[in-house]
């Protein structure tokens, strides 16, 4: 402690003010991220990581730095930016504050060298920890959203594409896949960017169909692969661990192979004959029952599922559903989405009631 005092006495007052302001900034940002880790993600590990870093910074925030504070005389008090007044979703809040923490730590790393040799090095190491935290939060957030998703919209070509997707998002949809087999790359990139922005505005996941390169080009949350597409291992090398990779399956063998290859989720179907998959025989409810008993990863029943059939598919064991025409061709996609989600919620309630009486 005495060594720190000897160094700090030689520190110019302006540097002390810089350190004080950026210690506040970093600690506040960490607290905002910590609250989401605790209450939004229910992650003890990530919450503790944020808390440990906050407490480490608090140890450097000694009285000399606080006494140098001059809030009324700070010319930066009146400075602001329009982007600071609005956040579109939780992800935006987290990203803004993670950037805030990283910038503050970089300032502390440089000016901290003038205050105490160990302060600069400590803040440098913490900055790397925050980079890792940033990556882990993105991964955790995406995969938690996938776990929580019950209804999955796979788009089909439509003149009302953006309108329909936004309507479904307004109805509570949290997972969208952009699928247009006939569109050229330029069109898919343009539309993919629009859909990704739209989905993220509603805190929903956005995936591209088939193409890993296009998923990267539009910064999608992941990709959905068919049986004839690239191996999951190859897609993972390009997309990394944080992005989601799904695989279509039509039978138990394909399901097991997708699981072994590291798919984050699988599609199970087509449950019924559907024009979306011409020439492909329906896998039927028997495969749904098999998936319900054997799949350790999230899976979505897909293929010909509409408002009249969802009850049968749910009874076969499905907990998650992917739809195309039921929403894409709906006159009121918001209401249809709400209907699907309400049916799922009601079925969950009935199942819990039955379990409690057994």
Residues with catalytic roles = 179, 248, 277
Q: Do 235 and 249 form a contact (C-beta atoms < 8 A)?
A: no
Q: Which two tokens stand for residue 308?
A: 């009249």
- Nearest in space to 249 (alpha carbons), one of 228, 230, 223, 274: 228
Question: Could you give phi then psi for residue 322, rounded to 5 degrees?
Answer: -115, 135
Give phi and psi for 206, each to the nearest 5: -130, 125
Nearest to 138 by CA among 216, 217, 221: 221
Q: How far is CA 189 from CA 137, 181, 183, 257, 267, in A?
A: 26, 13, 10, 30, 24
Distance CA 154, CA 220 (A): 14
**Read out DSSP for 56-110?**
HHHHH--HHHHHT--STT-GGGG---GGGG--SSHHHHHHHHHHHHHHHHHHHHH
């Amino acid at each position: 402690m005495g060594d720190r005092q000897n160094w700090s006495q030689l520190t110019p007052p302006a540097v002390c003010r810089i350190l004080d302001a950026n210690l506040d900034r970093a600690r506040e940002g960490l607290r905002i991220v910590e609250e989401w880790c605790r209450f939004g993600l229910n992650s003890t590990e990530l919450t503790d990581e944020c808390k440990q870093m906050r407490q480490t910074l608090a140890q450097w925030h000694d009285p000399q730095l606080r006494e140098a504070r001059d809030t009324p005389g700070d010319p930066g008090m009146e400075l602001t930016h329009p982007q600071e007044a609005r956040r579109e979703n939780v992800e935006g809040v987290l990203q803004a504050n993670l950037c805030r923490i990283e910038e503050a730590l970089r300032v502390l790393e440089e000016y901290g060298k003038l205050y105490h040799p160990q302060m600069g090095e400590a803040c440098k190491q913490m900055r790397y920890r925050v980079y890792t935290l940033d990556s882990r939060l993105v991964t955790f957030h995406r995969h938690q959203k996938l776990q929580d998703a019950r209804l999955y919209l796979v788009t089909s070509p439509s003149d009302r594409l953006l309108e329909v997707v936004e309507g479904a998002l307004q109805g509570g949809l949290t997972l969208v896949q952009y699928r247009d087999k006939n569109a050229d790359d330029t069109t898919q990139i343009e539309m993919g960017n629009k859909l990704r922005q739209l989905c993220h505005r509603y805190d929903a996941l956005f995936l591209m169909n088939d193409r890993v390169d296009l998923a990267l080009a539009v910064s999608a949350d992941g990709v959905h692969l068919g049986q004839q597409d690239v191996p999951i291992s190859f897609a993972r090398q390009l997309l990394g661990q944080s992005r989601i990779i799904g695989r279509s399956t039509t039978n138990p063998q394909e399901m097991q192979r997708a699981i072994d290859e590291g798919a984050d989720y699988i599609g199970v179907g087509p449950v019924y004959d559907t024009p979306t998959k011409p020439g492909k025989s329906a896998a039927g409810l028997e495969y749904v029952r098999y998936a319900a008993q054997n799949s350790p990863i999230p899976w979505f029943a897909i293929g010909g599922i509409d408002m009249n059939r969802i009850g049968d598919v749910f009874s076969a064991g499905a907990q998650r559903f992917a739809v195309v025409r039921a929403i894409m061709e709906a006159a009121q996609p918001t209401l249809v989405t709400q209907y699907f989600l309400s049916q799922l919620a009601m079925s969950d309630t009935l199942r819990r009631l039955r379990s409690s009486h057994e």
